[in-house]
Amino acid sequence: MVEELIYPDDGGLYAVGDWKFYCFYGEIGLILQKRKKLDGSVEYKLCDNEFNEVGNKGKYISSINSDLPLALRMEELSISAKLLSSAIPKPFMRIDLFSSLNGVYFGGFTPFPRGFSMFWKSWGERLGMMWLDAQERMEGDMRSGALFKLYDEIASLVKGE
C-alpha cells in the first residue's frame, strides 16, 4: 500500500495538521487542531465554529499551544465539515480533515463522542445541548421527507444494490 504524502497548506516540511470538527447535523460545535511535532509529541488548540480560540476547556490541558496558526484553508475545512455532517443522518459526527497545498483531504469519521467527559462542565453542557438540537432537527427533516441522497447512494453501494 502506498499513500500520498500530504504537505501542509503553507508548504512547510512538517507533519500536516489534523483538524477534528465536532459536528452536530450540519453545525460545528468545536474544532480541535492537532499537530505532531518532530520529536513525536503532540500539541493542540481548541476553537469555536468561528475559529476563535476557546483556550483550554479541560481536554489536553498540558498540551495546549495557543500559538498554533490556523490553516490557510479554514473556510474550506469548515464548509466541508458542515456539508459532510448535514448529509449523514446522525446527530453527532466528528469529521477529521487535513488542509494541504492541494486542497482539503478527508481523514475520517468518528460517529460517537469520545472523551466528552474530559471537557469542563460548561462545554460538556454546551455540546450536549447541540446534540439534542441536532437530534430534533434531524428527526424533523426525516418526518418532512427530506432525503439523505448522498447517504442513501453510499448505503446502496455498500449493500451492493
Contacts 24+ apart (CB under 8 A), 152-155: none
Give per-residue pLDDT as tens, 125-156: 888 999 999 999 999 988 887 766 666 776 77
- Sheet containing strand 103-110, edge to edge, reads 42-47, 27-36, 18-24, 93-100, 103-110
- pLDDT > 80? residue 19: yes
For the segment 81-108, the average pLDDT, to the nearest whole number, is: 92
Give residue 58's pLDDT band: very low, low, confident or very high (50, 70, 90).
low
Let me know: does 96 contact 111? Beta carbons within 8 Å: no
- The pTM of this model reads 0.85
- Look at residue 131 in the predicted model and tell me its pLDDT: 95
Q: Contact at 8 Å (CB) between 49 and 29? A: yes
CB of 85 closer than 8 Å to CB of 68: no
Q: How far apart are CA 44 and CA 7, in angstroms?
A: 19
Within 13 Å of residue 124, how many CA atoms lie on the same side as its CB?
Answer: 10
9 grid coordinates: 497548506
Mean pLDDT over each residue of the chain, to the nearest integer: 85
Dist. CA 114–CA 11, nearest whole Å: 32
Burial (CB count within 10 angstroms: exposed 0-12, middle 13-18, buried 19+), residue 121: exposed
